[in-house]
Structures are given as C-alpha cells and as structure tokens.
Amino acid sequence: FQTYFKNSDGPWKAAINTVRRRNQENCPLSQPLFLGTAQPQSRKRKWNTQLIIPASSTNKNNSEEDREKNHVDLYSMNESFPVEQLQTFSQLLQNIHHLEFPSQMGSVLTNPLLLHYMNCIKDESIYLRLYYWMGQTLQEECTWSVADNNGYEEEFKDFLETVYKTECFLQEGFSSCEEFLYKSLPLWDGFCCRSQILRLVSWIPLTSFSEMKSHLYDPLAQLFFTSSLYFKCSVLESLKKLLQNWLNWHVIHLDSESDS
C-alpha cells in the first residue's frame, strides 16, 4: 500500500507535523498551517494590488513634450504600445500587434480590451505568464488550504469571482484553475466559497472519464451524499453547466474546422 500510495495522506501529515512543532516550541502561532506537501510562499503581495495596470517605467521620466511625441510614434510599425494608454477598441485594433503587456499579469483579468486581445491573438507566452501567476495566487490565497488565510475569505471570494467572469468572457477555462480545483477539492468542506468553486467547476475542460472521476467526481460525491438538498442541487447545476460549456466549445471548434 505504501509503495503505490505514498502521498495519500500527505496533506494531513504535513498539517499534523506543523502542529507538533508548534507545541514543542511552546510559542504562539506564527507559522501558517498549510494543508499540503509544500510550504506556502510569503504573502508579500496581495492579488488585489495586481489587478491595476501599472504605469510603464519607461515613460515615468519623460517630459510632456516627449510624451506627446511618443504618443504619436506609438502608431508606427516599430514602436510598442503600452497597455496603460489603451483606452478604446479602435486603439486595440490599430496596435493589436504592438501591445506591450504589463508585468503584473493579474491586471489582464479586469481589462476587457486585453481579454479581447487574448481571444484574437493566441499568444502562448501570455497564457504561460498568466498560468504561472494564477496558479501561484490560487495556492497561496486559498482559505481552506492555508489556515492563516481564514480572515481573507471575502477577498478570496472576490478573486475567484473575477477568475470566473474572465473564463466566461473568454469562453474557456484556465488550466491553472483546473489544477487548483483538482488539488483542493479533496480538502474542501463544501461550504467555503461554495458558489464560486462550483462556478469554476463548470469551466473545467472535459478530459478522460477516469481522470475526471478521480479528481472531480469522487471528491464531490463524498460531499454530495452527506450534504443538504441545496448543496446537491448546486452540484447538479454546476455539472449541467459543465456539460453545456463543453458542448458549446465542441460546436464552435467543429465550425472553425469546417470553415478552414
């Protein structure tokens, strides 16, 4: 059993070991209790401070005259267009191949023009940067994986809601969000951020049945059979939307393949 299931109780062992160390040291709680096999990262930067596009550092020291000149030159073929100056859809169309994306990828989630860009231009580097940032943020801010995050539940709800709205806008789920759900659902109590989690479940890309059964259906089934009727209906509604989203995606891709 230990040979094939070495990590079956890894999260709980990590939590128990953390509590034991605290008791031995006989000191107040100063270390976050992370229900996983990895230690949490430092909370130096909150996710909600990264949802605003920062000003480009290259333009901070320019004079007004230089800024006006640069604003005109931005429309030339050899210049990049800083996203903090992107205000209209026409600007997006004129500079769609010259956009300079922000260093804080979280700001993309709240900018409809940049989301339109992601829909039109499938830039793998942008998706990879967003994937890394979102994966780290979801892990660090999860309120049921890191015990010290209990006071940040409302903020985490807002973040999950922002991610869900972005997925609805793009009409596809994020792979980093899918990984987060697969890792965190076995630890989820079915109550914390319930509506947000079930909404995100509806955008999980459908894969093989065996994979979805072990990572999605089994954790939800444990909660389903022991929870209220309202929770059961919420889970069924989420799975119904999951099927609808998959069918819509399938139809769109069939149409695009037939056109090509």
Residue 17 has pLDDT above 90, yes or no: no
Angle value at C-alpha 10, between 239 and 32, nearest 5 degrees: 90
**CB burial readout 68-77, b (16+ within 10 A) else e:** eeeeeebeee
Alpha helices for 108-192 (secondary structure H):
112-120, 124-141, 153-170, 175-184
Pairing outcome for strands 81-82 and 99-100? parallel
pLDDT band at 252 (very low <50, low <70, confident <90, very high): confident
pLDDT of residue 18: 56
Give the pLDDT confidence of 120-169 residue by residue, as tens digits: 888 888 889 999 999 999 988 888 876 666 678 889 999 999 999 999 99
Q: How far apart are CA 25 and CA 115, in angstroms?
A: 49
Task: Using DSSP, state whether 81 is helix, strand or coil.
Answer: strand
Q: How far apart are CA 94 and CA 200, in angstroms?
A: 34
Give the pLDDT confidence of 78-126 residue by residue, as tens digits: 578 888 888 999 999 998 888 888 888 888 999 999 999 998 888 888 8
Looking up tokens 């889970």, which residue turns up?
235
32 against 192, higher pLDDT: 192
Residues belonging to the chain: 260
pLDDT of residue 14: 55
Q: Report the DSSP beta bridge partners of residue 99.
A: 81
Residue 51 has pLDDT above 60, yes or no: no
Residue 5 has pLDDT above 60, yes or no: no
